[in-house]
Amino acid sequence: MLSIVFLSLQLFNKPKTKVLRSIDEPFCKLCISELKANFYKDYEYEKYLKSASWIETVNKRNKFFTIEYEVTLRQPEFKFKNGLYYDKNLEIFFHPTIKELPTLIFDESSLQSNNFNEALLIKTSIYGLKQIEYSKVSGWTIYLNSMVVRLGKSELEERLIKLNVILSDFEKSNLKNKILDLRYQNGFSVTQI
């Protein structure tokens, strides 16, 4: 959450000065720049805040000679493409962030809410993800820096544990530029990309 304070000295019912002060918690620096740039423009700031797709909620409070806005950002979960992201409800929105998030690719008719929860589990379980794909036929495929991993559709948690064990021995296993297939019940296969 970000607190933005609009300080105005009222003179004949018109603001004489505008000052922006933000309490910067772990917050997107590009977001703050965007908010500041629009704060000093001559249109109504509240309308701007409510129209920005990357802002989830805006709370306005009047205090003596100030107007205070509390802004909560929509949190991007996955990258869609070119500055567009998926939020927790799988809605696509623009976000002025430079966060490194994995790209999520799926056929709209095949991804359901439990699949999205699986995508979130994959994202939190594996470091260095570049892309996550879901197919109704083959299930989950993930792309890391230098390898592809086929996880399949079932026993996802067990396969993620197995993958982390394999990745901990990445150097020893020489898995660079390989396809790692974990869809087998007993073991896994490795092929060249």
| 193 residues of the chain, pLDDT tens digit each | 555 555 544 555 555 455 555 554 455 677 777 877 787 675 677 788 888 888 888 877 777 666 777 777 888 899 998 889 999 888 899 888 777 899 999 887 776 778 889 999 999 999 889 999 998 888 999 999 888 999 999 899 999 998 888 888 765 567 778 899 999 888 888 888 8
Measure the CA–CA gap between 168 and 190, rounded to whole angstroms: 16
Q: Two tokens at 92?
A: 């696509």
Domain boundaries, the chain: 2-73, 102-192
Give the β-pairing of 66-73 and 55-63: antiparallel
Contact 193, 146 (CB under 8 A): no
Task: Look up the CATH superfamily of 102-192.
Answer: Cell division protein FtsQ/DivIB (3.40.50.11690)
pTM score of the predicted model: 0.76
Measure the CA–CA gap between 131 and 100, rounded to whole angstroms: 11
Non-local (6+) Cβ contacts of 38 within 8 A are: 45, 48
Supply angle C-alpha 59, 83, 38, rounded to 5: 40
- φ and ψ of 166, to 5 deg: -65, -45
Measure the CA–CA gap between 172 and 190, rounded to whole angstroms: 14
